[in-house]
Amino acid sequence: MAKTFIENIAQKLRIIPDLDREHASGNQQPLRKFPSADEWHNFTELDANAWPLRLERNYSLVPTTCFNCESACGLLAYVDKDNGEVAKFEGNPHHPGSRGRNCAKGPATINQIQDTERIMHPLRRTGKRGEGGWEQISWEEALDEIAAKIRSSLKRGGVDKVVYHVGRPGHEGYANRVLKAWGVDGHNSHTNICSAGARTGYSLWQKHDRPSPDHTNAKVILLTSSHLETGHYFNPHAQRILEGMMEGAKLIVIDPRLSNTAAMADHWLPTWPGGETALFLAWAKMIIERGLYDREFMETQVNWDAWMRAVHPNEPCEFERFIELLGEEYAEYTPEFAAAECRIPVEQVIEVGEVVANAGTQLCTHVWRSAAIGNLGGWQVSRSLHFLNVLTGSVGTVGGTSPNSWSKFKPSLFDVPPDPDGWNELHFPPEYTLSHYEMSHILPHLVKDGRGTMDVYFTRVFNPVWTYPDGFSWIEMLENEEAVGCHIALTPTWNETAFFADYVLPMGHASERHDVNSYATSSGKWVAFRQPVLREYARREGREVEFTHEVNPGQVWEEDEFWIELSWRIDDGTMGIREHFMSPYREGEKITVDEYYQYLFERVPGLPEAAEKEGTNALGYMRQHGAFLIEEATYEKHKSEGWPTPSGKQEFYSETMIEFGYPEHSIPHYRQKSHVHPENLSGEDEYCLLPNFRLPQHIHSRSANAKWLVEIAHRNPIWIHPKDARKLGVAEGDLLKIETEIGWFVDKVWVTEGIKPGVVGCSHHIGRWRRKQDRGNRFLTNTVVIEDQGNGKMRMKTVSGVEPWKSDDPDTNRIWWRDGGVHQNITHAVQPDPISGAHCWLQKVRLSRPGPGEDYGDIEVDREKSFEYYKRWNEWAKNRETHPRGERRPLWMKRPLAPRKEHFYMPGFGPDSTGPDVVSQTDEGE
Ligand code: SF4
């Protein structure tokens, strides 16, 4: 097409690119995507911001990994050699998981490190805890004071009084090793508000508790999602889903909400939350009836014979008979039944069922948070979903779904301290016999119930006051100095939990810290290196650095070096802690962080050899490339490794469930209806609130300081279907009062057909707040006042929304948005699933117009009601508490930071020498 007169002039003035270049012949230059690695310390490019001036900038490109979700995609930091500062982040093409690409949150790391309100120095509180007074202290003071508190606690003999509670993990066994060196059963995680439900379902089948879908090679991609692929493994999965679709794969998305992914799907099934299990079992029935199961896989890899012997002892133990009886067992799951449970058309159940049933070994399934964490009995969702993979023989295949542990590198560490000598009942209370991870979301209630206290409590990149349900109970616990002797918040940015700390210690963002990462983002196995980029830049420039805080902004540090220094100071020479922090290379001397990673990378299969080819060592290779592909593909490992379950097979039939008091769940079934099942709602007046999805631009609670991300997304209105809006008489922008079991919040309405009628949605990650005396995150925080109204009633009122302010960054004064959303989670009651222990996120709610004095953003919660409500759910677990042979939990299932085997038994019981070994789970919870 011919250029216009205006385009001609604009092109000559270089206001727009050369439109002729694309069509030029002869001297045409291909577009360059990335500089080659040997140019990375001396790369020159034009400054895009200086356009139309042709201003050259010279960079050192240093790889690291993104810290903004679990995936740990590769980043390349562009360090400007003129000023020694990071100018921008792009993708690292050498990273096998992300392959040079990122989502919006990756490049926005630059916002986080340039945040004018970030915490630059260690802080100690002044005044009462939670009042908001702080003074700057040195790292020396912080280390000495905290070390003294831990030493005192350890010397009193408690093994459960010093606790490390992790929000964003990602350093593969580092903290567990430290806790073991201190001798404490002190690991807590965020997993039971996240993935514990899905993990339980997968674990019952194969012990491996996470799925690794091979989207690229799939014929059918089946996602059960209200969160997945727009928040979790977002970029690595999204790019592979697209690759699969470009090769003809069909995409099926099950979600009551029209997510971005659902909008791209061939089939969107807006199921009623919790009905997914019925749907998957109906599809299982279709596969069985039509003979589309993979006989070879079923017959050789599944413990079908155990079920035959136990349940049908008078039948011949033959596979053909098993299949006939299986058909009878699942006869109740008709398409009509599934359609009724899911409230979708029966034709859709059958049509999509045909697609799934005919996928064969290329059925690629995935569920992470979503329905598995939303519902009472949500763990059944992953169990029944995996059943489809088992039936079609698509477990561990090309285009199928593999156990994640096949694709995850487990590091060998330089020293392994002994397992802790005790059991922490605040983390694993005896009634939650099958909880897959720590019961972290009921911690404040367990403390209130008199089950224990903590001397020293670290929150590590963790913000439960805001992220968890029932945040006012967290505030109550944190303000109680009898319950929590000392609270230390390790965080890169201010958050609502840090407001209630004694020490706030600034930790690095992605480019300011060391971690090692390995995740099952594809069918291969890789390891990546998160490194402090200015430290590596200094090394390239020939400068010595002892501690990372010497090169980071202000006195921002990193956990790795912090733990070494802290551990060293805890030990007064009598405690045997220092011996676990000695250099493996220099006898009798303290280990350095470089030595830690040198030791680890020297033991990555194939890495030393690859490094040698480049004339460097393993650490040098990782500093240069940032990642290494260990295995191209990890299919069919069961053929060499088997299945690590009690039967050595995929467990269709679980004796564990019977032994631990849940015989109705011995095989996959739909025996537990969700707490938000229509039968459990009071007719049309109650709705199901879907609160556990997030928008792709945000992180749970660390993106409020990322101005680019906040400008794109800063509100969390209530999604409501037009039919429901009509019924309630509300229109777009009107206010609604949403009443939960323990309180209410007021939000604005967004009328959309992208949500199922009867369900309302509210996205997580927005609705951040601070009080007048608090600091940080002003791009996305409302200023609030919190009033204690007595009798446990707490009220939060928004005083003002987001406002511009003057700072060194002119953009802070250009903020045009005022609405910072609403903090919904704080009004949610805790709902611990009695089996998986997972918090069941979905809430039963009533909707009405707000009354006088109830304004946008207002919140009220009754803490007494919340405690009573917790007790009701807790009773369900207590009523079924069963400990076969005195076992606290199944010995063969994973447990993070496993203590010595004898502590896996209730008092009065002990290990049986014939029982399996207990296995510590080294991959931290997500
Ligand atoms: S998906 Fe996005 S946020 Fe997550 S690691 Fe990759 S770039 Fe970062």
Ligand 1 in reach of 66 Cβ (< 6 A): yes
Predicted confidence band of residue 387 (pLDDT cuts 50, 70, 90): very high
pLDDT: which is higher, 464 or 920? 464
Task: State the burial class of residue 154 (Cβ atoms within 10 Å of its Cβ: 0-12, 13-18, 19+).
Answer: buried
Could you tell me the two tokens for 75?
């980043």
Which residue, by CA, sits nearest to atom 6 of ligand 1?
Answer: 73
pLDDT greater than 90 at residue 21: no
Number of CB atoms found within 10 A of residue 465's CB: 26
Q: Cα–Cα distances in Å, from 632 out to 74, 303, 407, 921?
A: 17, 30, 10, 24
Mean pLDDT value of segment 398-413: 96
Tell me how far apart the alpha carbons of residues 515 and 813 are, in angstroms, rounded to a whole number.
35
Ligand 1 in reach of 234 Cβ (< 6 A): yes
pLDDT greater than 70 at residue 455: yes
CA 65–ligand 1 middle distance (angstroms): 9
Task: State the burial class of residue 578 (Cβ atoms within 10 Å of its Cβ: 0-12, 13-18, 19+).
Answer: middle
Residue of 67, 235, 260, 699 to test ligand 1 pocket, by largest number of atoms within 8 Å of CB: 235
66-98 tens-digit pLDDT: 999 889 999 999 999 999 999 999 999 999 999
- pLDDT of res. 757: 97
Which range, of 33-37, 462-466, 650-654, 855-859, averages the lowest pLDDT?
33-37
Contact by Cβ (8 Å): 776, 770: yes
- pLDDT of res. 919: 57
Which residue, by CA, sits nearest to atom 2 of ligand 1?
Answer: 103
From the list 157, 169, 548, 198, the residue with the least C-alpha distance to 365 is 198
549 alpha-carbon distance from chain centroid: 27
pLDDT greater than 80 at residue 43: yes
Could you tell me the two tokens for 328?
């009878």
Strands 220-224 and 250-254: parallel
User: pTM value?
Assistant: 0.95
pLDDT greater than 50 at residue 883: yes
CA 75–ligand 1 middle distance (angstroms): 9
Residue of 66, 92, 229, 518 to test ligand 1 pocket, by largest number of atoms within 8 Å of CB: 66
Ligand 1 in reach of 108 Cβ (< 6 A): no
Task: State the burial class of residue 176 (Cβ atoms within 10 Å of its Cβ: 0-12, 13-18, 19+).
Answer: buried
CA 703–ligand 1 middle distance (angstroms): 12
Ligand 1 in reach of 68 Cβ (< 6 A): yes
Mean pLDDT of the chain: 94
CA 236–ligand 1 middle distance (angstroms): 8
User: What DSSP line would sit under 551-584, residue for residue?
Assistant: TSSTT-B-HHHHHHHHHHHH--SSSS-GGGGB-S
Ligand 1 in reach of 112 Cβ (< 6 A): no
CA 235–ligand 1 middle distance (angstroms): 6
CA 718–ligand 1 middle distance (angstroms): 26
Identity of residue 364: C
Tell me how far apart the alpha carbons of residues 276 and 226 are, in angstroms, rounded to a whole number.
12
Ligand 1 in reach of 73 Cβ (< 6 A): yes
CA 562–ligand 1 middle distance (angstroms): 26
What number does the ligand 1 atom closest to the CA of 236 have? 1
Tell me how far apart the alpha carbons of residues 718 and 744 are, in angstroms, rounded to a whole number.
13
Tell me how far apart the alpha carbons of residues 745 and 737 are, in angstroms, rounded to a whole number.
6
CA 526–ligand 1 middle distance (angstroms): 16
- pLDDT of res. 422: 97
Predicted confidence band of residue 912 (pLDDT cuts 50, 70, 90): confident
What number does the ligand 1 atom closest to the CA of 101 have? 7
Predicted confidence band of residue 571 (pLDDT cuts 50, 70, 90): very high
pLDDT greater than 70 at residue 226: no
User: What DSSP line would sit under 838-904, residue for residue?
Assistant: -B---EEEEEE---TT--TT-EEEEHHHHHHHHHHHHHHHHHT---GGGBSS-TTS-EET---GGGG
CA 76–ligand 1 middle distance (angstroms): 13
Residue of 64, 65, 71, 709 to test ligand 1 pocket, by largest number of atoms within 8 Å of CB: 71
- pLDDT of res. 885: 96
Tell me how far apart the alpha carbons of residues 156 and 175 are, in angstroms, rounded to a whole number.
22
Q: Report the percent of the chain where pLDDT is more than 90.
A: 88
- pLDDT of res. 4: 73
Ligand 1 in reach of 102 Cβ (< 6 A): yes
CA 105–ligand 1 middle distance (angstroms): 6
Predicted confidence band of residue 538 (pLDDT cuts 50, 70, 90): very high
pLDDT greater than 50 at residue 233: yes
795-846 tens-digit pLDDT: 999 999 999 999 999 999 999 999 999 999 999 999 999 999 999 999 999 9
Predicted confidence band of residue 11 (pLDDT cuts 50, 70, 90): low
- pLDDT of res. 916: 62
Task: State the burial class of residue 795 (Cβ atoms within 10 Å of its Cβ: 0-12, 13-18, 19+).
Answer: middle
Tell me how far apart the alpha carbons of residues 355 and 283 are, in angstroms, rounded to a whole number.
10
498-528 tens-digit pLDDT: 999 999 999 999 999 999 999 998 899 999 9
- pLDDT of res. 922: 46
Ligand 1 in reach of 69 Cβ (< 6 A): yes
Residue of 65, 67, 68, 101 to test ligand 1 pocket, by largest number of atoms within 8 Å of CB: 68
Number of CB atoms found within 10 A of residue 196's CB: 33
Ligand 1 in reach of 103 Cβ (< 6 A): yes
Tell me how far apart the alpha carbons of residues 195 and 231 are, in angstroms, rounded to a whole number.
13
pLDDT greater than 60 at residue 924: no
pLDDT greater than 50 at residue 337: yes
pLDDT greater than 80 at residue 591: yes
What number does the ligand 1 atom closest to the CA of 106 have? 7
What number does the ligand 1 atom closest to the CA of 510 have? 8
User: What DSSP line would sit under 207-241, residue for residue?
Assistant: S--SEEE-GGG-SEEEEE-SSBTTTBSHHHHHHHH
Helix H, strand E, coil C: the string for 443-512 is: HHHHHHCCCCCEEEEEEECCCHHHHCCCHHHHHHHHHCCCCEEEEEEEECCCCCCHHHCCEEEEECCHHH
Mean pLDDT value of segment 680-703: 89
- pLDDT of res. 917: 65
CA 232–ligand 1 middle distance (angstroms): 8
Mean pLDDT value of segment 892-906: 95
615-660 tens-digit pLDDT: 999 999 999 999 999 999 999 999 999 999 999 999 999 999 999 9
- pLDDT of res. 23: 45
Predicted confidence band of residue 230 (pLDDT cuts 50, 70, 90): low
Q: Cα–Cα distances in Å, from 638 out to 247, 389, 583, 621, 648?
A: 27, 15, 37, 32, 10
CA 67–ligand 1 middle distance (angstroms): 7
- pLDDT of res. 925: 46
Tell me how far apart the alpha carbons of residues 665 and 199 are, in angstroms, rounded to a whole number.
16
CA 115–ligand 1 middle distance (angstroms): 19
pLDDT greater than 90 at residue 14: no
Predicted confidence band of residue 172 (pLDDT cuts 50, 70, 90): confident
pLDDT greater than 80 at residue 266: yes
Predicted confidence band of residue 24 (pLDDT cuts 50, 70, 90): very low
- pLDDT of res. 32: 58
pLDDT: which is higher, 226 or 34? 34
In 577-653, which residue ranges form alpha helices assigned H by DSSP?
A: 593-601, 607-613, 618-625, 638-641
pLDDT: which is higher, 855 or 370? 855
Number of CB atoms found within 10 A of residue 315's CB: 13
- pLDDT of res. 699: 87
Ligand 1 in reach of 448 Cβ (< 6 A): no
Contact by Cβ (8 Å): 473, 465: no
CA angle 459, 162, 444 (to 5 degrees): 60
Ligand 1 in reach of 72 Cβ (< 6 A): yes
pLDDT greater than 70 at residue 38: yes
CA 706–ligand 1 middle distance (angstroms): 14
Cis peptide before 213 (omega within 30 of 0): no
CA 101–ligand 1 middle distance (angstroms): 9
Residue of 75, 92, 99, 102 to test ligand 1 pocket, by largest number of atoms within 8 Å of CB: 102
